[in-house]
Amino acid sequence: MSIFIIELKKETSVQDAGYIERLRTQNAQLKARVASLENRVASGDEESRNGWNAYQNSLAEVRQLKEHVRVLSQPDDYAKLERCYDELRDKMLELGSQNITLATQAEQAEQLESQLAIADQRATELEAALRLAQMPTESRDNVIELIRRAVA
């Protein structure tokens, strides 16, 4: 009977070691994924800033063109006024396109932040499971029992 218990403990410790190693591997993979998502969010933020700066520059250019239109709005200079109007219309279409691009980038950044939060939570859960797996059997059983009682 005691030989059976010793063999069972050896088998259990080998299984625990394998389980702990799988948890470590999965934890390392999730940490790498979190780092990747953080990099993607940072690049999305940079793209959003660049887009915003381009938008601000376009607004300044529109103000300049409006001033140009005001100056050219003399009654004898309608051809120049029409050209300025066409330029303004083209700039407004370009601004609309940039605005759509910025909205898309902002949405992507929000999605990446959401994915990052989920990955962070998963990594935290795996780290807790790893700590639990490394505890002595009796302590681990006590913790599991406490969690079961708290959930029930």
**Residue 40 covered by a domain:** yes
Encode burial over 87-107: b for 16+ CB neighbours within 10 A, e otherwise: ebeeeeeebeeeeeebeebbe
pLDDT at 11: 57
Residue 142: inside a domain, yes or no?
Answer: no
Among candidate residues 95, 118, 94, 98, the one with its CA nearest the CA of residue 106: 98
> How many domains would you assign to the chain?
1
pLDDT at 113: 93
Q: Report pLDDT digits (tens) over 20-73.
A: 888 889 988 988 888 888 888 777 777 888 888 888 888 888 888 888 877 766
Q: Is 123 a member of any domain?
A: yes
**For residue 139, is it within any domain?**
no
Q: Which domain holds residue 127?
A: 2-132
| Average per-residue pLDDT for the chain | 82
Model confidence pLDDT, tens digit, residues 89-112: 999 999 999 999 999 999 999 999
Is 27:129 a contact under the CB 8 Å cutoff? no
**Residue 109 located in a structural domain:** yes
DSSP 40: H
Structural domain contains residue 147:
no
8 A C-beta contact, residue 111 and residue 99 = no
**Contacts of 123 by beta carbon, 8 Å cutoff, 6+ apart:** 27, 30, 31, 34
pTM > 0.75: yes or no: no
Task: CATH number of the domain at 64, please.
Answer: 1.10.287
Rounded average pLDDT over 113-140:
90
